[in-house]
Amino acid sequence: MNFWEQTYLVSPAEFFVTDDRSAVLETYLGSCVGVTLYDSVVKVGGLAHIVLPSGDQKREAVSPGKYATSAIPLLIERMLDLGAVKGRMVAKMAGGAAIYKNFSLDIGRRNAVKVKEILRQEGIPILGEDVGGNFGRVLRLKIENGEISLRQIGRGLREASSPTAVRGVEFKDIVKEIDHIEPLPKTVRQALTLIDEDSADSQELKGIIYKDQALTADVLKICNSAYYGFTRRISNLGHAIALLGLKTIKKILLSLSLKNILFQKIPSYSLGKGEMFKHALACGLTAELMARELGHDNDSEKIFTAALLHDIGKIILDLVAFDRFGLIMDKVVKEGRSFLSAEKEILGLTHAQVGAMIARQWNLPLVLIEAIGYHHEPEKAQAAPEAVAIVHVADVICSMLGIGGGVDGLVNPVHPGALSLLALDAKAVENIIEGLPEVMKQTEPIEAG
């Protein structure tokens, strides 16, 4: 990247058009399709991250960037506003992966077909495409010259240098690294005790936040963000708790206090800085939404927290086994194995098992230990099978939409038993996907905070 470049991340259901020559537009894709349009004469370009092929009139009016049928005409319109000429526009597209065949949703293929149909109707030629497959992609468009770069997630490690000797990870190395992320900051420990629904009141919560000045400032900044849309400035915590409610403040507090741990980059899993945190937050919010809709209101905070922490074991395995991830990807790519089974074979244990070890060390409730430990194998859950199934499905959906799942996000299967346990059919899953871009808006102030 050049120092004068400015990268704009285009989230699911969003589009961005600009004539700023220093701009680079970037998006992460799973089953979604990324479409770029470019006019090389005036150097105007745009990128849309399309989630679904089409919606009804009302839905397309509310969230036009979400659907191919409404996003592409709008992208063209905004390009024309900036001086582009339709006859000079060219398109490139990527994504539309068939990530989870047993979801029987076929969204990726349907997205790609619809995008091509609309571009054909608009008379815009497609000069390049990379669609299908069962892996994610990162698509970038440089406005300066219209150059496209595309990175496939889950394939790039194939050529990584593979050590000749294979052995499992030493258990003592894992325990040592878990000890290193201890002691947790006091605020995190206190925040984690608050996930037990009835044990916290607003005074207790205020007490925890007040002791940490930076945290107080961050919580207030989030409460004053555009997302919550208050007309008057909120300047004290009591006021913030009264307006947003205890549950929302607890959620913000938990997310912020775990941000330091979850924000780091995790190269072994191809997670750049901030990507794990984005994925964790998205999974937390999706799982919480599902919990409420499926009648698990009482457990929704625990389920949110479990989903927030589900991949935390990756941090440890990245530290103790980074030299063995080439071998894992070899098994995934050459033998068509799931990431989890390859991880287990090469390392002797999985990031989910390591996550459960951390949860146990932190004395988290059993629901969290199970949900973290079995988030890829929900059929093994015994204490809280539905909570585990919710975290599992939320993880799969977020990965499918390309929200920071990392290298393994797209090569771990969805468990059909979890869908039937939760009585989720293809339509219900599609409804959750439809609502996800709105859910994701909640993450923006927390990520920026």
Active site residues: 32
Residue with tokens 């925040």: 191
Residue whose CB is less far from Fe ion, 311 or 386: 311
Nearer Cβ to Fe ion (208/368): 368
Q: Which residues pair with 131 in a beta bridge?
A: 95
Residue 212 or 395 with smaller CB distance to Fe ion? 395
C-beta closer to Fe ion: residue 288 or 311: 311
Nearer to Fe ion, 251 or 375 (CB): 375
Task: Please report how close the Cβ of residue 352 comes to Fe ion at its closest, in angstroms.
Answer: 6
Of 376-435, binders to Fe ion (CB under 5 A) are: 395
Contact 272, 357 (CB under 8 A): no
Q: Write down the least CB distance from residue 13 to Fe ion, Å.
A: 20
Find the part of the chain contacting Fe ion (CB under 5 A) among 102-110, 251-259, 303-311, 384-392. 303-311
Residue number, 277 or 362, with CB nearest to Fe ion:
277
Rule CB under 5 A: say whether 318 interacts with Fe ion: no
User: Is residue 280 within 8 Å of residue 440, measured between CB atoms?
Assistant: no
Residues 6+ apart with CB under 8 A from 334: none
User: In terms of residues, how long is the chain?
Assistant: 449
Smallest distance from the beta carbon of 280 to Fe ion, in angstroms?
8
Residue 176, SS3 per DSSP: helix
Stretch that binds Fe ion, among 64-72, 109-117, 310-318, 379-387 (CB under 5 A): 310-318
42 is written with which tokens? 């005036």
429 burial (CB, 10 Å; 0-12 / 13-18 / 19+) is: buried
Kindly state the smallest distance separating residue 314's Cβ from Fe ion, in Å. Answer: 7
Task: State the number of binding residues for Fe ion (CB under 5 A).
Answer: 2
Helices (H), 195-295: 202-210, 213-223, 237-244, 246-262, 275-293
- Report the distance separating Cα 201 and Cα 51, nearest Å: 39
- In the bound complex, what is the minimum distance in angstroms from residue 77's beta carbon to Fe ion? 36
**Residue 404: which residues within 8 A CB-CB, separation 6 or more?**
28, 271, 275, 276, 277, 278, 279, 282, 398
| Of residues 227-256, those binding Fe ion (CB under 5 A) | none
CB of 395 to Fe ion, least distance (A): 4
- Pick between residue 60 and residue 408 the one whose CB is nearest to Fe ion: 408
Compute the distance between CA of residue 216 and CA of residue 210 in angstroms, rounded to an integer.
6
SS (H, E, C) 23-57: EEEEEEECCCEEEEEEECCCCEEEEEEECECCCCH
DSSP run (H or E) holding 9 = strand 6-9
Q: Which stretch binds Fe ion (CB under 5 A): 129-137, 218-226, 309-317, 430-438?
A: 309-317
- Alpha carbon dihedral 281, 283, 284, 285, in 10-degree steps, equals 90
Q: Minimum CB separation from Fe ion for residue 340, in Å?
A: 8
3-state secondary structure of 126: strand
Pick the closest to residue 289 from 62, 66, 449, 442 (CA basis).
442
Task: Please say which residue, 111 or 353, places its beta carbon nearer to Fe ion.
Answer: 353
User: Least CB distance from residue 52 to Fe ion, whole Å?
Assistant: 22
**DSSP-assigned states of every residue in 260-286:** HHHSS-BGGGTB-TTHHHHHHHHHHHH
Contact range with Fe ion by CB under 5 A, out of 92-100, 146-154, 266-274, 307-315: 307-315
**Stretch binding Fe ion (CB under 5 A), from 187-195, 198-206, 308-316, 424-432:** 308-316
Exactly one of 275, 311, 318, 370 binds Fe ion (CB under 5 A); which one?
311
Provide the β-strand partners of residue 47.
16, 36
> What is the binding site for Fe ion (CB under 5 A)?
311, 395
